[in-house]
Amino acid sequence: MTDDPRLTPLAASLPPSVPFVGPEELERRRGAPFRARLGANESTFGPSPRAVEAMARAASEGWKYGDSTSHDLRAAIARHHGVDAAHVLVGEGIDGLLGLLVRLVVTHETPVVTSAGAYPTFNYHVAGFGGALHTVPFRNDHEDPEALAAKTRETGARLVYISNPDNPMGSWHDAATIAALAEALPEGALLILDEAYADFAPPEAIPPMTPEDPRVIRMRTFSKAHGLAGLRVGYAIGPAPLIAAFDRVRNHFGMTRPGQAGALAALEDRDWLASVVAQVAAARARISDIAAGSGLSALPSATNFVAVDCGGDGTLSRAVLDELATRGVFVRMPGVAPLDRCIRISCGRPEDLDVLEEVFPASLAAARNR
């Protein structure tokens, strides 16, 4: 198939690929549903019942566009974090916000820095707007703040990305290390601090909110601990002039009324959040036990997933992934060596982990025998 001749040269040069193949597509390919969906770091524990009720009420007003400013949700997020609403932007998940930020800052060959093996959707956006991506390796299964800062100074990068806690390894840095990274960046560089998993992190990993700092924009989501991945609600906290600049490029009616209502109710239900965090901690421990039962080790995690070291290289991990899928369990794995010696298993309900425990030994054995 040839490209449509109307594509821009940049679009025509890009590969026809996406960062992730969704589990629904994988189910279509295998001709059967998965028994356990443990690959996308969703919350199988679901959203707060209060959020479900709020979304149901909002659905009856589905004929209306959502509030183009997400006023009530922005105000609630601002109160929650003790900042002014001028520092808060609501958007279609962190993925959508990353795309808008790249659009604002990146043009042809604009240098951007990230870690090799870090969240691939960010890289996808950088490529889509013609940026020049520069990477540094992980160090001891952590993103390497010193190397990120050095590469930013070397390249003159406009943007530098780090997730804390990290995806795909589940590792984390303390707040002082993140602050030191911001301090080490050259003037004009912007640190994107992806805190998608902040609700699961130890308190010492989360820096205090200083939204007026022109060097940092922080991103959070309702997709993980709040269980609203299908609603696509995320937010950014950063300097007011940068937050205001998003109005130049964002989809002003991109947020749905049910999504806005559900996120607002979820934010207010602290008891449900605490319950989910506790269940995730129990699931992390059980995944570690399942791995240990097959002679494997699990990496320490401050997220809602666990990276399990399969004891080989990426070829073995890919085989384990395939064997698990054959037996009805959907998981994912890092894409870059040496991280790809691991598979990444999302924290699920007890019944999900029952399935994992049932099929994991046979999957590992079959992978080793390939």
Q: What is the pLDDT of residues 22-59, one digit of tens each?
A: 999 999 999 999 999 999 999 999 999 999 999 999 99
Give pLDDT, residue 16: 84
Q: How far is CA 1 from CA 4, 10, 14, 340, in A?
A: 9, 18, 15, 32
165 preceded by a cis bond (ω within 30 of 0):
yes
Same domain? For 150 and 290 the reply is: no
Question: Which of the four pLDDT bands, split at 50, 70 and 90, describes residue 281?
Answer: very high
Domain that holds residue 98: 49-268
Together in a domain, 184 and 311: no
Total structural domains within the chain: 2
- Domain-embedded: residue 186: yes
pLDDT at 18: 79
Q: Residues 284-297: pLDDT tens digits?
A: 999 999 999 999 99
| Domain end call among 250, 268, 286 | 268
Tell me how crowded residue 74 is: count the other CB atoms within 10 A of its CB. Answer: 21
The per-residue pLDDT for 341 is 98
pLDDT-derived band at 3 (thresholds 50, 70, 90) equals: confident
**Do residues 231 and 303 share a domain?**
no
| In-domain check, residue 13 | no
pLDDT at 141: 97
Kindly report, residue by residue over 51-84, the tens digit of the pLDDT: 999 999 999 999 999 999 999 999 999 999 999 9
Q: What is the pTM of this model?
A: 0.95
Are 129 and 198 in a shared domain?
Answer: yes
| Site of tokens 């309900």 | 349
Domain end call among 233, 268, 303: 268
Average pLDDT in the 139-144 region? 98
Any domain includes 11: no
Q: Stretch 271-281: mean pLDDT, rounded?
A: 98
- The CATH number given to whatever domain includes residue 255 is 3.40.640.10
